[in-house]
Amino acid sequence: MINPRLEEAINKQINAELYSAYLYLSMAAYFEDANLPGFANWMRVQFEEEQFHGMRFLNYLVERGGRVKLEAIEKPRFEWNSVLEVFEETLEHEKHVTALINNIADIAEEEKDRATRNLLIWFIDEQVEEEGAAEKIINELKMIGGEGHGMLMLDREFAARTFVPPVI
């Protein structure tokens, strides 16, 4: 049976992961409207990843005998001023998610819950990757000035991205 503090924190994380999926789906729609299908695809892959993350936390909670308590998902933003602004928000959002996961790790350490600490190692590594990917794109967008041929190249590159569920 999972500790009640961890059960509550993981339930909040499930909601945060599902909100992340919803936010990235909104960003994908924004890119579709801006005629950037590759960028939209990139965000759709993010959407799928976040759904996977939410389900991984949900399944873990069930495995540990916890009670899943789904809450309403906050309405995401749907308008941005530029592609760069979207990815700057993506980076800030991923930093927020990292802080939430680190908080669960702190609780797991306090409660001496080794199973949860073990689960979180994967998520901590994943967040390093998520923040790094957003930073890389921000740097590329700044290099090309967020327009012209560089945008076309990035859009085509992002169109090839696919979601492959990790084998864990």
Higher-confidence residue of 93 and 165: namely 93
Q: How far apart are CA 168 and CA 156, in angstroms?
A: 30
Residue 132 dihedral angles phi and psi, to the nearest 5°:
-65, -40
Please report which helix (H) or strand (E) contains residue 83, including its range. helix 83-110
Q: Count the Cβ atoms, other than its own, within 10 Å of residue 67.
A: 11
CATH label, 4-159, candidates 3.30.500.10, 1.20.120.450, 1.20.1260.10, 1.10.287.1080: 1.20.1260.10
Q: What is the pLDDT of residues 49-88, one digit of tens each?
A: 999 999 999 999 999 999 999 999 999 999 999 999 999 9
Inform me whether the pLDDT recorded for 9 exceeds 90.
Answer: yes
Q: What is the pLDDT of residues 94-153, one digit of tens each?
A: 999 999 999 999 999 999 999 999 999 999 999 999 999 999 999 999 999 988 899 999
- Provide the residue ranges of all domains of the chain, joining segments of one domain with +: 4-159
First and final C-alpha spacing in the chain: 22
